[in-house]
Amino acid sequence: MRIANYLRPDCVALRQRADSLTGAVQQMVTLLDGTDNLTDTAVFAADVRARLALGGVCVGNGLAIPHAKSTAVRQLQLAALTLDPPLPCDTPDGKPLDLLVMIAAPAEANDLHVQVLAELATLFLDTDFCAHLRESETPEAFCRAISAREEQDAQEPPSDAAPGAAEPGYQLLAVTACPTGIAHTYLAAEALQQAAQARGLTLKVETNGAAGVNDELTEDEIQAAECVIVAVDRSIPLARFVGKRLVYSSAGDAVRDADRLLEKAVSGKAPVYRGGHAFRTSDWKELGREYYGHLMSGISHMLPFVVAGGIVTAFSILLQHTGAPSKWIMLMTNVGKSSFAMMYPVLAAFIAYSIADRPGFMPGLMGGYLAQMGTTTATQLSWISSGFWGTIIAGFAAGLVVQLLNHLFRRVPPELDHIKTGLLVPLLSLLFIGVLMLLVINPPLGHFNRWMSIKLSTMQGGSRLVLGTLLGGMMATDYGGPINKAAYVSGTLALVDLQYDLMAAVMAGGMIPPLGIALACLLFPTRFTSTERRSAPQTLLMGATFVTEGALPFALRDPLRVSPACIAGSALAGFITILLGCGCPAPHGGLFLLPVMENPPGFLIALAVGTLTTTLLLGMLKKPLKH
């Protein structure tokens, strides 16, 4: 693939001015509007802005690569823009933007835009070449420079001709990944490759990108390598690297200073990986982050069962109101309940899988099932589910016991390895989890859960109002972070126990921040930048559909004023939903759930009061911008 084939001079603009990243992107949309590749400029512009809101398009060294797949694009097309003066922006290395390349890809293009991103990462990582592009006098010269560079690269011998490449295997291995799996994944890979080539080292890089895993490392390559560099910004499986020297960093660090990572890798001082970053570094903070990551892995796999089951249950309630046949109502009800029944086994299974990889899945799944059933040595009539906490204990215990068994059996001869993996580890881990859950975890936690359920169901008046206020406020604390997730999980667990009022408080609390901010942009425009005001309709839509993260860009720019205003409005909305007896039978959907809610007018009142509170507080706390 050649970049020059997709970039035309009439889609290049040099030394332009822009007051914001959004404004610069809009200029490139206008350039593409002059071609016959866009069927609807407004739709494509909206798709680009939506992708821009997710972040990750600024890759450092003054370069940004905005991109979008859109139904309004006929064929892949690029646009380029240089800025003079450079645009101060929130970039990974703090350098202002002065070079942007936009990718417009058709919706059915699969991973084509990812391939282009990889090529751009390779091309624009060379700072001297980027400087040459910025100095281009005309768009034609800009395109000719890219074409000439690609022809030169095509004529160069492959990188495996470097010294040492004739030896079997690779001296070093690397893995790169970023949250979106696009720009930084490939920029980091290319930076490491170039640094290794300059040192005369052989290096293979596995990229975990949006299109999947490319150049996957084999078991033989891992065994032969001296060290592995893991440059990632999200969780990836690391069990295969146990026993190898490991250099761990972010993808951004690899882009900025790949040579430093290589120096550490070849120094012989990199620590041997023993099954976790935290244990490897004896860092308790890292230990907390690592195990929080395992927990969130389980929760992210569990939530689809809760969300889908809740919505199906809500449909069954809606069918009851419409007088539908009872068999359809029962079908919806049973499917929803069955989905809820799967949440605990799935949660525990994927916590264990995150810790111990595939061998942890089975004991984790069984531990979650035993927690969900509340199985003990007594008769089944006395079983009480140990619920969420029992499931979490089962998941972590299953993952850790599998790790322990693998360590104990590490000296098993290779010819007996199938007995270890196919019999000993599954059997012993299942027996351990069975004894743990039936004798130690389920009996006390089951009784505790019954006590908590009775307390919650009998909680009335002030105490219930306080709980609704607390949950509503927590939803606006970190906009999708740990506190927000804790409140959301609390609401979904209450939903399983048919306590719909707490889910209503959580739902209202999560909708208020983006709704309040969007309204403030309309009522107090002088308090917000032009970019923020343009994003108000999108933020309003996100609030209406219960996407709290719509408030995040505003909170990051001005946390000391935005966060208190959002928390106050959300807490008040949570209070009012409990006060007015609102109930929400599904964990997602926002305003679309009004037909199946208990007391919909009360829920709308809670939203209105909470939104106005956040809006007015923003108007008071934020000062007019100086122009």
Q: Tokens 């505003």, residue? A: 554
List the structure tokens of 464: 């219930």
Q: Tokens 């539908």, residue? A: 324
Start-end of H helices in 425-535: 425-435, 442-458, 461-475, 482-496, 500-523, 530-534
Residues of the chain with pLDDT under 70: 1, 54-56, 92-93, 109-114, 118, 121-122, 125, 155-169, 179-183, 210-212, 234-235, 239, 274-290, 293, 452-461, 480-482, 556, 626-627
CB 233 within 8 A of CB 203: no
pLDDT of residue 286: 54
Q: Which amino acid is at 571?
A: A
Measured distance CA(413)–CA(407) in Å, rounded: 13
The candidate with the shortest Cα–Cα distance to 287, out of 296, 297, 277, is: 277
List the structure tokens of 392: 């979490």
Helix axis angle, 183-199 relative to 112-124, nearest 10°?
A: 40
Please give the full DSSP string across 54-77, using - where no structure is assigned: T---EEETTEE--EEEETTBSS-E
Phi/psi of residue 608, nearest 5 degrees: -65, -45
- Count the Cβ atoms, other than its own, within 10 Å of residue 625: 12
Q: Tokens 């080292």, residue? A: 201
The candidate with the shortest Cα–Cα distance to 486, out of 299, 286, 235, is: 299
Query: Residues with catalytic annotation?
Result: 67, 178
Measured distance CA(159)–CA(150) in Å, rounded: 15
CB 570 within 8 A of CB 610: yes
Q: Tell me the torsion sign for CA atoms 262, 268, 269, 270.
A: positive
Q: Could you tell me which residues are beta bridge partners of residue 212?
A: 209
The candidate with the shortest Cα–Cα distance to 31, out of 103, 124, 117, 118, is: 103
Q: Tell me the torsion sign for CA atoms 338, 340, 341, 346.
A: positive
Q: What's the chain's average pLDDT? A: 82
CB 555 within 8 A of CB 479: yes
List the structure tokens of 380: 């089944």
pTM beyond 0.75: the answer is: no
Measured distance CA(460)–CA(465) in Å, rounded: 8
Strands (E), 268-390: none
Measured distance CA(132)–CA(50) in Å, rounded: 32
Measured distance CA(277)–CA(478) in Å, rounded: 25
CB 239 within 8 A of CB 357: yes
CA neighbours closer than 13 Å in the CB half-sphere of residue 205: 29
Strands 227-232 and 212-214: unpaired
Burial pattern 400-439, b for ≥16 Cβ within 10 A else e, equals bbbbbbbeebeeeeeeeeeebeeeebbebbbebbeebbbe
Our separate counts of H helices and E strands in the chain read 25, 11
Please give the full DSSP string across 383-426, using - where no structure is assigned: ----HHHHHHHHHHHHHHHHHHHHHHTTTS-GGGHHHIIIIIHH
* DSSP structural state of residue 271: P
Phi/psi of residue 118, nearest 5 degrees: -60, -40
Burial pattern 195-213, b for ≥16 Cβ within 10 A else e, equals bbbebebbbbbbbbbebee
In the three-class reduction of DSSP (H, G, I as helix; E, B as strand; rest coil), residue 348 is classed as helix
Strands 67-70 and 58-60: unpaired
